[in-house]
A and B are shown apart, each in its own frame.
Chain A
Amino acid sequence: MFAIGPVAFATPWLLSLLIALPILWLILRAVPPAPITRRFPGVALLLGLEDPEAETDKTPWWLLLLRALAVAAMIIGFAGPVLNPDERTPGQGPLLVVADASWASARDWSDRRERLDALLAEAARDGRPVALLQLTDLPAPELAFGTPEALRARLPGFEPRPWPVQTDAVLDWLAQVEGTFDTFWMSDGLGYDGRDALLEAFEARGAVRVFESPRVAYALRPPVIDGREVTVDVLRNGGIADASVMVIARGPGPNGISRELGRAEVTFEEGARIAPASFELPPELRNRVTQFEIPGQPTAGAVTLADDGLRRREIALFTGRDDREGLELLTPLHYLRRALAPTADLMEVPFGDALLANPDVVILADVAQLAEAEARALTDWVEQGGLLLRFAGPRLAASEVSRAEEDPLMPVRLRAGGRSVGGAMSWGEPKTLRAFGETSPFFGLAIPEEVVVTAQVMAQPDPDLPQRVIASLTDGTPLVTRKPVGQGQVVLMHVTANAEWSTLPLSGLFVQMLERLAVSSRPAALTAEALAGTVWIPERLLGPFGSLEEAGQLAGIAGETLAEAPLGAEVPPGLYAGSDRVLARNVMGPESEIAATSWPARISVEGLESTRDQPLAGWLLTLALILLALDIIAALWLSGRLRQGTRGGVTGAFIVAMLAGNAASTGPAWAQDGPSSSLDDQLALQATTDVVLAHVITGDRAVDDIALAGLRGLSQVLTNRTSIEPAEPLSVNIETDELAFFPFLYWPITERQSLPSPEAYAKLNRYLRGGGMILFDTRDADVAQFNTDTPGMRMLRRLAAPLDVPPLEPLPQDHVLTRTFYLLQDFPGRYTSRTLWVEAAPPDAEQVDGMPFRNLNDGVTPLVVGGNDWASAWAVSDDGRELVPIGRGFSGRQQRELSYRFGVNLIMHVLTGNYKSDQVHVPALLERLGQ
């Protein structure tokens, strides 16, 4: 490859074309710019003039330079220049490619694989044998160097593992391998203990190159419940200040499909490695959360699984003995409350209410006899999977419950009276507990020495007693018995829940036992002690990219191992199922942190991009295009075409803009629904800023114009005379416009108007039910008198048929419309028909003696139907002149005035409802009526 300094050329021979540049210079110089032709009347004055100088018939030097530069940029661009060509000196000898391939590598795995591919290609060029070592999945201690091609073929199947690197195992492995080799280390960017030791071990075998991605790795700690909040700590290994990360809580939705249940955003401060993300989730929602994750981080570390630890069980507590009020420490429930409150939601409500809430556990502390209904309900609940935990006590011991025959809600029959050991009046020492048997759920729990039992109730030695005992005293008497009932179980502690009969409630064992019985959820930290003796079966495991996958048939893992062993092939992260519980093992523990790597200065660390060649062809060709665009402008300017701001200049600017747009290859994306939604908004704003009267567009231009002018006139009258000050009226298209903004619609009827669509009818019905009013005006009262049937009426009937219209009646004398503002009896418009139809009064409306009018409809009549062509009487032009002549002379003026008064009354009625119908106003109205 031919190179000049840091730039190399793919096809250097093209550069020879640069020799042609001077020739081009000469040619261009000889050809002047084309003349522009202008029409100019003053040409007569120009005739005979001589050009003072003949210089500009040649192209000016700077334009030549511009063009020459453009051509040069093109030639060089096509010659394929490359900045920083990859010209590493080829290495020799075997090459070991070491990949951390931990969970953190998954964040940019495809980039890593590409880099690996490039590396293998380079090794293939150099003819080096290559071996690949995955630190999270160590092969047999032997290095099998092979051809890079073979390795490249296997590359697509090469995946990271969802756990961190265990350096000890790697060091052991390395100690067993012989030979020298160069190392290419693909680091995951996490600093861990022992990385330096590893580096030294590799350096002992040959040169080490390190590759590290600059991307920040994020991880999540397991969730911690703190009161109502769930806190998930977000970890990172570096990065800038103010970087914000989204954390999502995920769980099954109501339909069982996993969905987002909550999200929180955290912002890292300068240099901070930890930022807590708090979720405030209602208990119902929180109990459904199965995992927290960071979107956009496809790693196992950016997912933390929620197990039973996040579930807070609902526990209903009952005691039969609440007479000793005030003696806190003696209450049977005191120790239970203390033990359970941190990890469970306690309910202490009446019995019937508690079962309705469907608690997970019901605890009966020294409750002997249950009412029959209560017992039946409790039995049903237990059979459906509930856990009933009973504690003994003086009452139970004294009662006849489960004496002669076994109570369904008791695991065993009891002997009368119980027993007392080690007391002042008895022989023997207080008894301690015997170690838990293997079948017991408590197996593995250490028994503290201080736990002693001084009194207990005794089980009758029935045949199935031994199977039901899950804990016993040193002398073999059962201490805890259990019986399955349906899908649930009943557990009896043969001692009291307080410290009267035993010291068990005072010890930590009590809490652990409750935990094992799945009464309480476990605390956040897993301890080998608490899990001792249990076996856990992998249920679902975390994949390397943070997805939960079915575990398949895998062997169970001992509880101690699960709690303590580091994550690895033996204990992969995921969900493990125990007898009653589900445990999650996450990549990050509650105390984990992640840190950035720190490599010694002698090691060269390369990023994903640093070694890449930088092809310059695109830049140079863009430069050539820009220069040519400049040339267009310059040529236009030179010939005077740009000067006048006429089309030439505009075109030039347009071309330049086009070129710039192409070079940037980005264009503005217009929102598709922009104009229409903004129109809707405009209408909404216009209609709601003030009260606005509106009319329905009929499609008949003249009618619509008069209707609008009529409403304008009415609006002016309203503004002048009343406190209603409407804005300029609007025309409404019932098909497309929203009607809800308008309190009142004027609808002139024309014969030729088309019927609204079903959607529009639905809208109209919604409008009428929502309190809107429509004034239908058939505009034919001059011919419609004496009960003739006019075309307008027929049209109105067809139009209003699908409308949800109440029964109508001719306006009665005492209708509220007659007195909402003016006292009116006639409602003339352009015509003076007296018939006006409104919603019928209820049939039971009767006139009370002494009252001038009945107490009529509550609310506004949704329809007013008439034919007086009110809009014509109201109509005024923009400058306030009446548009339509009404009547003759003074009587005409009076008629127009009355029609305005009707309009005022109508709008008052629309806006104030039956306010004036209120009988409170009767005295004042009577006075005004002169009665």
Chain B
Amino acid sequence: MSRPKYSEALHTPDSLRHRSETVSGSLPPLMLEAEHLAATIMLGHHGRKRSGMGDEFWQYRPAEVGDGVRTIDWRRSARADTPFVREKEWQAAQSLMIWVDDSASMAFTGGRDRPSKLRRAQTLSMALAILSIRAGERVGLTTLHEPPKAGNIQLIRLAQALMDPVEPDDYGSPVFTQMPSGARAAFFSDFLGDTAGVEKALTSAADRGVKGALVMILDPDEEAFPYDGRTVFESMSGAIRFETLKAKGLREAYIERLAARKDALETLCRRTGWRLDIHHTDHAPEEALLWLYHALERVR
């Protein structure tokens, strides 16, 4: 299969929904394991192997004092002398919080045949959201003021919110106006800016019992630094400039620094119980999604 050509490095709302539907269609619905069942009270599809609130039948038990008359299953009770109560399995839904870095640096792409980092991040995050919504979870964006919600209408809201105007800063750091404790989170960014913001966000998330995954999305050019000659490097907004006389000579140092940045993130993740994936825009998005699937599923 030939690699798709990206006429636009960035998504439009339509293409975002469409593309992420395509990507998420290749995985089984992603079922998030709720770690802290008691902490969330909203219903989801995660059977807890105990009686509680939910849609699925769990067991009949003799009615006890305190059971409401409405809870008695009359059909079952008619077959015996004592009234029975019909219990259902306790089901819970998990919340998934997503943050997509929409700063200027994410709009970069090194080649015409690959999407920008932002577009890839949007695709991945929407795919994740779709999988979760299909699985009955609730999904929200950390930047939104509304709590995470379930249902297809939420997908449209998410898509619109993701397409909101780009932040003018060069580098973004995770902010959350919403972070239900015990929820799951996925952060998409290139993490090339200051790491302090990430560190702060991750520690405060860990404090609330939120676990999740960082996806570091990099353009292959950012990984390989294939530049030479006398060059003035500019950040995407033009705010930061750096001039070199021989770009080739800086490659080693750059790659070293990038590795150090990855190490720092890795360390941070290990400390907070998060996980880190490095994804390149010239690779298929399915890889990252699969990784996310496992990463978010495994943590119990």
Interface of A toward B, CB cutoff 8 Å: 32-47, 49, 51-57, 638-640, 643-644
Q: Given the interface contacts A39-B235, A41-B222, A43-B234, does A49 sit within 8 Å of B254 by beta carbon?
A: yes
Listed stretches B50-58, B89-97, B239-247, B268-276; interface member: B239-247
- Can you give 11 contacting A-B residue pairs, CB < 8 Å? A35-B232, A38-B227, A38-B234, A40-B221, A40-B235, A41-B108, A41-B170, A46-B254, A53-B246, A640-B227, A643-B228
Interface centre among A38, A46, A643 (most CB of B within 10 A): A46
Q: Which residues of A contact B241 (CB under 8 A)?
A: 43
Say yes or no: is B200 at the interface (Cβ < 8 Å to chain A).
no
Q: Given the interface contacts A49-B250, A51-B246, A640-B228, does A44 sit within 8 Å of B235 by beta carbon?
A: yes
Question: Which residue from B227, B230, B254 sits with its C-beta under 8 Å from A32?
Answer: B230
Closest to B226 in A: A643
Q: Which residues of A contact B258 (CB under 8 A)?
A: 42, 45
Question: CB distance A640 to B250 under 8 Å?
Answer: no
Question: Which residue from A52, A639, A643 sits with its C-beta under 8 Å from B230?
Answer: A639
Count how many chain B residues have C-beta atoms less than 8 Å from C-beta atoms of the other chain.
40
Q: Which residues of A contact B108 (CB under 8 A)?
A: 39-41
Interface positions of B from 221 to 266, Cβ below 8 Å from A: 221-222, 225-236, 238, 240-247, 249-250, 253-254, 257-258, 261
Q: Given the interface contacts A39-B234, A41-B222, does A639 sit within 8 Å of B245 by beta carbon?
A: no
Say yes or no: is B190 at the interface (Cβ < 8 Å to chain A).
yes
Question: CB distance B229 to A38 under 8 Å?
Answer: no
Q: Which residues of A contact B219 (CB under 8 A)?
A: 41
Q: Which residues of B contact A41 (CB under 8 A)?
A: 105-106, 108, 170-171, 190, 192, 219, 222, 235-236
In whole angstroms, how far apart are the Cα atoms of A43 and B108 in the complex? Answer: 12
Question: CB distance A46 to B233 under 8 Å?
Answer: yes
In whole angstroms, how far apart are the Cα atoms of A35 and B247 in the complex? Answer: 11
In whole angstroms, how far apart are the Cα atoms of A758 and B222 in the complex? Answer: 68
Q: Which residues of A contact B197 (CB under 8 A)?
A: none
In whole angstroms, how far apart are the Cα atoms of A638 and B230 in the complex? Answer: 9
Question: CB distance A55 to B246 under 8 Å?
Answer: yes
Question: Which residue from A35, A44, A46 sits with its C-beta under 8 Å from B250?
Answer: A46
Q: Which residues of B contact A640 (CB under 8 A)?
A: 227-229, 231, 247
Q: How far is the CB of B37 from the nearest CB of chain A, in Å?
A: 41
Question: Which residue from B192, B230, B244 sits with its C-beta under 8 Å from A42?
Answer: B192
Say yes or no: is B193 at the interface (Cβ < 8 Å to chain A).
yes
In whole angstroms, how far apart are the Cα atoms of A643 and B227 in the complex? Answer: 9
| Apart from the given pairs A33-B230, A44-B193, A52-B246, 6 other A-B contacts in the complex at a CB distance below 8 Å | A38-B232, A43-B235, A44-B235, A47-B240, A49-B242, A51-B249
Closest to A637 in B: B229
Q: How far is the CB of B133 from the nearest CB of chain A, in Å?
A: 31
Q: Which residues of A contact B234 (CB under 8 A)?
A: 37-40, 43
Report the 7 A-B pairs with minimum CB-CB distance, sorted nearest first.
Answer: A41-B105, A640-B229, A35-B230, A52-B249, A45-B257, A43-B233, A640-B228
Interface positions of B from 108 to 126, Cβ below 8 Å from A: 108, 111
Q: Which residues of B contact A55 (CB under 8 A)?
A: 246
Question: CB distance B228 to A47 under 8 Å?
Answer: no
In whole angstroms, how far apart are the Cα atoms of A802 and B192 in the complex? Answer: 78
Question: CB distance A45 to B190 under 8 Å?
Answer: no
Q: Which residues of A contact B230 (CB under 8 A)?
A: 32-36, 56-57, 639
Q: Which residues of B contact A644 (CB under 8 A)?
A: 111
Q: Given the interface contacts A39-B234, A51-B245, A51-B250, does A44 sit within 8 Å of B229 by beta carbon?
A: no
Q: Which residues of B contact A54 (CB under 8 A)?
A: 245
Q: Which residues of B contact A42 (CB under 8 A)?
A: 192, 222, 225, 233, 254, 258
In whole angstroms, how far apart are the Cα atoms of A705 and B192 in the complex? Answer: 55
Question: CB distance B253 to A49 under 8 Å?
Answer: yes
Q: How far is the CB of A123 from the nearest CB of chain B, in Å?
A: 64
Closest to B227 in A: A640
Q: Given the interface contacts A44-B193, A51-B244, A640-B227, does A37 sit within 8 Å of B222 by beta carbon?
A: no
In whole angstroms, how far apart are the Cα atoms of A601 and B232 in the complex? Answer: 74
In whole angstroms, how far apart are the Cα atoms of A49 and B226 in the complex? Answer: 17
In whole angstroms, how far apart are the Cα atoms of A84 and B247 in the complex? Answer: 52
Q: Which residues of B contact A45 (CB under 8 A)?
A: 192, 254, 257-258, 261
Q: Which residues of A contact B250 (CB under 8 A)?
A: 46, 49, 51-52
In whole angstroms, how far apart are the Cα atoms of A33 and B257 in the complex? Answer: 28
Question: Which residue from A35, A40, A638 sits with its C-beta under 8 Å from B243?
Answer: A35
Interface centre among A35, A44, A51, A639 (most CB of B within 10 A): A44
Question: CB distance A53 to B249 under 8 Å?
Answer: yes
Question: CB distance B261 to A36 under 8 Å?
Answer: no
In whole angstroms, how far apart are the Cα atoms of A865 and B236 in the complex? Answer: 70
Question: CB distance B233 to A40 under 8 Å?
Answer: yes
In whole angstroms, how far apart are the Cα atoms of A32 and B246 in the complex? Answer: 12
In whole angstroms, how far apart are the Cα atoms of A38 and B232 in the complex? Answer: 6
Question: CB distance A37 to B254 under 8 Å?
Answer: no
Q: How far is the CB of A55 from the nearest CB of chain B, in Å?
A: 7
Q: Which residues of B contact A52 (CB under 8 A)?
A: 246, 249-250
Question: CB distance B227 to A56 under 8 Å?
Answer: no
Q: Which residues of B contact A47 (CB under 8 A)?
A: 240, 242
In whole angstroms, how far apart are the Cα atoms of A55 and B193 in the complex? Answer: 31
Q: Which residues of B contact A37 (CB under 8 A)?
A: 231-232, 234
In whole angstroms, how far apart are the Cα atoms of A564 and B95 in the complex? Answer: 123
Closest to B237 in A: A39
In whole angstroms, how far apart are the Cα atoms of A437 and B202 in the complex? Answer: 139
Q: Which residues of A contact B192 (CB under 8 A)?
A: 41-42, 44-45
Question: CB distance A57 to B193 under 8 Å?
Answer: no
Question: CB distance B229 to A639 under 8 Å?
Answer: yes
Q: Which residues of A contact B242 (CB under 8 A)?
A: 43, 46-47, 49
In whole angstroms, how far apart are the Cα atoms of A194 and B226 in the complex? Answer: 82
In whole angstroms, how far apart are the Cα atoms of A41 and B105 in the complex? Answer: 5
Interface centre among B106, B227, B241 (most CB of A within 10 A): B227
Question: CB distance A56 to B246 under 8 Å?
Answer: yes
Q: Which residues of B contact A46 (CB under 8 A)?
A: 233, 242, 244, 250, 254, 257
Q: Which residues of B contact A39 (CB under 8 A)?
A: 108, 233-236, 238
Q: Which residues of A contact B228 (CB under 8 A)?
A: 640, 643
Interface centre among B108, B170, B246 (most CB of A within 10 A): B246
In whole angstroms, how far apart are the Cα atoms of A638 and B243 in the complex? Answer: 16
Question: CB distance B253 to A38 under 8 Å?
Answer: no
Interface centre among B111, B240, B258 (most CB of A within 10 A): B240
Question: CB distance B229 to A638 under 8 Å?
Answer: yes
Interface centre among A34, A39, A52 (most CB of B within 10 A): A39
Closest to B190 in A: A41
Closest to A35 in B: B230
Q: Which residues of B contact A43 (CB under 8 A)?
A: 233-235, 240-242
Q: How far is the CB of A729 from the nearest CB of chain B, in Å?
A: 32
Closest to B250 in A: A49
Interface positions of B from 188 to 227, Cβ below 8 Å from A: 190, 192-193, 219, 221-222, 225-227
In whole angstroms, how far apart are the Cα atoms of A54 and B246 in the complex? Answer: 8
Interface centre among A39, A40, A52, A57 (most CB of B within 10 A): A40
Q: How far is the CB of A138 from the nearest CB of chain B, in Å?
A: 80
Q: Which residues of B contact A36 (CB under 8 A)?
A: 229-232
Closest to B252 in A: A52
In whole angstroms, how far apart are the Cα atoms of A42 and B111 in the complex? Answer: 15
Question: CB distance B247 to A57 under 8 Å?
Answer: no
Closest to A46 in B: B242
In whole angstroms, how far apart are the Cα atoms of A241 and B29 in the complex? Answer: 83
Q: Which residues of A contact B261 (CB under 8 A)?
A: 45
Closest to B257 in A: A45
Q: Which residues of A contact B249 (CB under 8 A)?
A: 51-53
Q: Given the interface contacts A33-B229, A39-B234, A49-B254, does A44 sit within 8 Å of B243 by beta carbon?
A: no
Q: Which residues of B contact A44 (CB under 8 A)?
A: 170-171, 192-193, 235, 240
In whole angstroms, how far apart are the Cα atoms of A38 and B238 in the complex? Answer: 10
Q: How far is the CB of A460 from the nearest CB of chain B, in Å?
A: 111
In whole angstroms, how far apart are the Cα atoms of A36 and B294 in the complex? Answer: 43
Q: How far is the CB of B237 from the nearest CB of chain A, in Å?
A: 9
Interface centre among B225, B243, B257 (most CB of A within 10 A): B257
Q: How far is the CB of B233 from the nearest CB of chain A, in Å?
A: 4
